[in-house]
Structure 1
Amino acid sequence: MKIRAAILRNMGASHPYADSQPLAIEELELDQPGTDEVLVRIAAAGLCHSDLSVINGSRPRPTPMAIGHEAAGVVVTTGPGVDDLKPGDHVVMVFMPSCGHCLPCSEGRPALCEPGAVANGKGTLLSGEIRLHETAGGPVHHHLGCSAFADHAVVSRRSLVKIDKDIPFEKAALFGCAVLTGVGAVVNTAGVQMGQSVVVIGLGGVGLSALLGALASGAAQVIAVDLSEDKLRLARELGATAVVNAADADAVEQVRRLTNGGADFAFEFAGVAKALENAYAMARRGGTTVTAGLPPPEATLGVNIVSLVAEERTVKGSYIGTCVPVRDIPRYMNLYKQGRLPVDRLLSGIISLDEINAGFDRLHDGSVARLVVRFENERASG
């Protein structure tokens, strides 16, 4: 079938993207789903820094590639072997498919699925197949098994979580990456407990989700750190107990004063090595630093080994919030419906697919938390 999708042919385009147009909206051929695959009509897809890192070339991927990985939509049809989804079901996409059989999956850590990581790196579906083609016949790679900036996508059944139909698609889409990653980093990776202190650096969609997760977990102090005064203002509105501008020369000292020597947990979501160093410095003796940021592959962290040992520090990475998607997405959605996880406040605006390059300019300059592409055929849905 013919679909309309955003295609990246060359990485590293100059800013502004509204002028350089790194993403071209083109017509592609989409195969029908194979075994254990599903055809989904995309209703809404969020713009994320993980997309931006491919566009700017800091995390190289094979091209041409149909971009996008945070989305919600409707099942159109299923391939052989799929018996637990049916046409009309609402689903959220998860950007790491889990095979269920490799060592990490068998240990209950599907976010680290080994075949899933290989497929994502090669730009294929979990099966190793490519279902997207140019009209002339050449293959177009899948982005993280999703390729969600398109009106339709074929994905692995292992990339989907069925959801209730009472959440609007533009909000449901956020649960596939921003919420899963941010809340999961707090709840799963760190295990923040009631009464503890938390600092969150980087207030994009993931960082703000982490802030909400910390509040929902009962953290006594939740300090928000960012360069944007608008985002700091939003953090206060969401419940942050204090905010600090990362541009302040004494930002680290401010956090340490507010927490009487450092936070129990310091989270970094900016994707910048210096921000992670600051997060480490903001954590207390015996504290934990957690990062879900994805800087360029060559970035390194310099840690004072004596402090790591003598102060019994912990530094942890968190990928997709150490999630079990089929468990976590329904839980987080229930908290949202109860008003305890107001992730709809992260939604900065709705754009069309044709506005996507300008949308990534806004994400790049830090002026938005989450923009969502909503497709015309779904404006009245959800």
Structure 2
Amino acid sequence: MPQQITAAIVRTAGGALTLEQLTLGDPQPHEVVVKIVATGVCHTDMVIRDQLFTTPLPLVLGHEGAGIVEAVGSEVTRVVPGDHVVMTYMSCGHCDTCVSGHPAYCENMAPLNFGGAREDGTSGLCDCAGHSVHGHFFGQSSFSTYALASDRNVIKVPKDIPLELLAPLGCGIQTGAGAVLNSLKVSAGSSFAAFGTGAVGLAAIMAARVAGATTIIAVDIVPNRLELALQLGATHTVNPKLANPVEAIREFTGGGANFTLECSGRPEVLRQAVDSLSIFGTCGIVGATKIGTEVSLNINDVMIPSRRIMGIVQGDALSHRFIPTLIELYRQGRFPFDRLIKQYRFDQVNEAMKDSESGATIKPVLMFEGQ
């Protein structure tokens, strides 16, 4: 039967999120109802709130949810009620890229994750007046006490690790680590630089250490984040307010980094990340920007040293395999992503977003117990 839930809704571009009572519909055959215990706050939530991407409003945001399976549709076999799960991005499962093992590049990625509806255009949410509310953000809309997810984007996780710790694995942490381990394939003995040391950049730095990179450079303007980067695996840091990052990276590496990752979403920083590369170096792009944003590059400086630029989504992760791998690395003490997290109550969602944007908090996690 449909149930009453509390959700954080954005109704106007750039507006504050408001907690409202909604009705959550029954799960369809391949859907899962998840009681949310915690959810991470990600930069993409603010991107959509501010309508830098075109996504319909009113909308329930949230896409790093973790919780307990409450009910499953008739054709769900991956999980059963009572399972602990982390939720990740949504994919269709039937397009060429999904079938070939790259669901992060699903041909239906935009409508399934940013369309505010299921693949068939329906929504499982309505407000107290009976009006439909857009949901299914990243196939979950986890800024809510309960969420409708899919058997494709729920990952069963061990019950002995707190869900409030695991929540951020579904997007930001997966993206940074996957960019290094899956997409760039950073190799042992290589050099790597992360431009931006938020949750994605710091996850990438930890992953570069796991991969065996021997020169790991963190670039940021926030001193305490650079200090944390050193504790998590960086061998060098650069504050662009104090030094030219391109010159510094060339000095640290003896000519340029083998791999760079642009995490800030700023075109001028992407230019620096490309210019910092060695011959045959590769720059990955994970920083989300406003639609239509362009960057200027010196074509000869890309062509002649055979530098490569790679767009990366969700770390090209097969989440059902990759998230358990990250959990095992955490157990071994090799991937201490818990050091990035600060907890907030669900009703502090706007404060958590503000602290994320200001840099005061690296990875806010909303807690739902007691709501």
TM range, smaller chain: over 0.9
Provide the rounded CA distance (Å) in 2 between the counterparts of 1:59 and 1:204: 21
Distance of 2:258 and 2:288 partners within structure 1:
23
For 1:126 and 1:177, the matched residues in 2 are separated by 20
- Report what 1:111 is aligned to: 104
SS at match of 2:134: strand
Q: Secondary structure of 1:264's match? A: strand
Equivalent residue, structure 1, for 2:4: 2
Q: Deviations over 1:227-265 (max 9, x none)?
A: 111111111111210111122352221111111111000
Counterpart for residue 282 of structure 2: 288
Match of 1:254 among 248, 255, 258: 248
1:76 is aligned to 2:70: yes
Unaligned 5+ runs, structure 1: 14-21
Any residues of structure 2 matched to 1:174-213 within 5 Å, and which? 174-213=168-207
Q: Is the 8 Å Cα contact of residues 43 and 169 (structure 1) preserved in structure 2?
A: yes
1:46 maps to 40
1:307 aligned to which of 301, 307, 322: 301
The answer to whether the Cα contact below 8 Å between 2:91 and 2:112 also exists between their aligned partners in 1 is: no
RMSD: 1.3
Q: 1:12 is matched with which residue: 2, 5, 14?
A: 14
Is contact 1:201–1:275 with CA below 8 Å preserved after alignment? Answer: yes
The letter of the residue matching 1:76 is: E
| 1:92 aligned partner | 86
- Detail structure 1 runs of 4+ shifted over 6 Å in the superposition: none
Per the TM alignment, residue 12 of structure 1 is displaced from its structure 2 partner at its CA by 2.4
User: In structure 2, which of residues 237, 247, 251 is the aligned counterpart of residue 243 of structure 1?
Assistant: 237
Q: Which of 152, 164, 170 is equivalent to 1:170?
A: 164
Which residue of structure 2 lines up, in the alignment, with residue 27 of structure 1? Answer: 21
Moved more, 143-152 or 312-321: 143-152
Q: Which one-letter code corresponds to 1:48 in the other structure?
A: C
Cα deviation per residue 1:182-216 (whole Å; 9 max; x = unaligned)? 00000111000100000001111111100100001
Partner of 1:141: 134
Identity rate of aligned residues, in percent?
A: 39
Confirm whether residue 229 of structure 1 aligns to residue 223 of structure 2: yes
* 1:220 Cα deviation from its structure 2 partner: 0.4
Residue 121 of structure 1: how far off its partner (Å): 3.1
Deviations 1:140-181 (A, max 9, x none): 112222111111011121121111112111111011012210
State the shift of 1:298 in Å.
1.8
Corresponding residue number in structure 2 for 1:59: 53
Contact 1:108–1:324 (Cα < 8 Å) also in 2: yes
Partner of 2:313: 319
| Whole-angstrom CA distance in 2 between matches of 1:199 and 1:47 | 24
Q: CA offset at residue 99 of structure 1?
A: 2.4
* Structure-2 separation of matches of 1:327 and 1:131: 28
Task: For 1:317 and 1:260, locate their aligned partners in 2 and report how far apart those are by CA, in whole Å.
Answer: 26
Corresponding position of 2:327: 333
Q: Are the equivalent residues in 1 in contact too, given 2:265–2:287 (CA < 8 A)?
A: yes
CA drift at 1:320 = 0.1
Q: Secondary structure at the match of 1:300?
A: coil
Single out whichever of 229-238 and 240-249 deviates more from structure 2.
240-249
The offset of 1:84, in angstroms, is 2.6
Match of 1:363 among 353, 356, 368: 356
Residues 267, 291 of structure 1: 8 Å contact kept: yes
- Provide the C-alpha distance between the structure 2 equivalents of 1:92 and 1:125, rounded to a whole number of angstroms: 19
Aligned to 1:354: 347
| Superimposed CA distance per residue, residues 63-121 of structure 1 (whole angstroms, 9 cap, x where no aligned partner) | 000010011110000012112311100111012x2222210011111111123432223
Partner SS, residue 76 of structure 1: strand
SS in 2 for 1:50: helix
Amino acid at match of 1:93: M
Partners of 1:126 and 1:156 within 8 A in 2: no
Q: Is 1:268 matched up with 2:262?
A: yes
Contact 2:178 2:315 in 1 (8 A): yes
Bigger drift between 165-174 and 205-214 goes to 165-174
For 1:58 and 1:267, locate their aligned partners in 2 and report how far apart those are by CA, in whole Å.
22
User: Could you tell me how far apart the structure 1 residues matched to 2:175 and 2:48 are?
Assistant: 18
Partners of 2:26 and 2:73 in 1: CA distance: 8
CA distance in 1 between counterparts of 2:108 and 2:171 reads: 20
How many residues are treated as equivalent by the alignment? 368
